[in-house]
């Protein structure tokens, strides 16, 4: 006699866990949440610094004054027009002719930053604006002879290089504002970047200046 007992039906398929899907969703949305928090809640410190350059942009940029407003002479007493350097990037510093240690350090930083530019080295010149009539030491002349050395009137320089917050009647503040920073003039003749005073040694400041100059040369098709 054939049994009519039917074979047992297979066990119903177990319900799949949705936990893996939840984790996938969390992993996908986490970067979005982090980005929103960084943008809308800057106090969390998640937002990257907006300024990546060491130098400070000069705002607004200042055009190089004509020769009748910025009287410059070479060490031989010949007149020199700073506007004649348009078409090149100008690394600029100002200091007394005696060139104390801080002055030598700036010349060193600018020379090394210039020399490290490889195929772009000819797009750059270096200028030292000397703020008095003191003779330049022979050691400085020998070490930095490829720098264009020009004598200038501090009052005229202050109007070009320093901000309006510097009182031109305050000789000490004016001298510090001229001798502590370094600057870059772009090929269009605009003072556009200022490297601020910094107590860090040349070994620290130098790479920062060099990197800023490299970025300018890389991203610019002028000069």
Reported pTM: 0.75
Q: Which residues of 86-96 are buried (b: 16+ CB within 10 A; e: fewer)?
A: bebbbbbbbbb
How far is Cα 94 from Cα 127, in angstroms, rounded to an integer?
Answer: 8
pLDDT one-digit tens code per residue, 26-58: 777 766 666 555 444 555 554 444 557 899 999
pLDDT one-digit tens code per residue, 105-143: 999 999 999 999 999 999 999 999 999 999 999 999 999
């Amino acid at each position: 006699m054939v049994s009519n007992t039917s074979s047992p039906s297979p066990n119903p398929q177990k319900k799949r866990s949705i936990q893996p899907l939840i984790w996938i969703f969390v992993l996908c949305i986490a970067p979005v949440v982090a980005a929103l928090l960084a943008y809308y809640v800057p106090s969390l410190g998640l937002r990257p610094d907006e300024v990546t350059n060491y130098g400070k942009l000069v705002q607004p940029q200042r055009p190089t004054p004509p020769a009748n407003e910025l009287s410059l002479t070479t060490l031989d007493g010949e007149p020199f027009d700073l506007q004649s350097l348009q078409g090149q990037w100008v690394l600029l510093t100002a200091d007394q002719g005696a060139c104390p240690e801080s002055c030598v350090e700036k010349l060193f930083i600018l020379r090394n930053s210039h020399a490290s530019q490889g195929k772009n080295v000819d797009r750059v010149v270096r200028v030292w604006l000397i703020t008095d009539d003191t003779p330049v030491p022979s050691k400085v002349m020998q070490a930095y002879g490829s720098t264009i050395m020009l004598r200038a009137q501090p009052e005229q320089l202050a109007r070009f290089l320093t901000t309006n917050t510097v009182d031109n009647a305050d000789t000490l503040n004016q001298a510090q504002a001229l001798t502590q920073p370094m600057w870059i003039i772009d090929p269009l003749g605009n003072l556009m970047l200022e490297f601020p005073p910094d107590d860090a040694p040349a070994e620290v400041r130098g790479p920062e200046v060099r990197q800023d100059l490299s970025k300018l040369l890389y991203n610019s098709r002028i000069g």
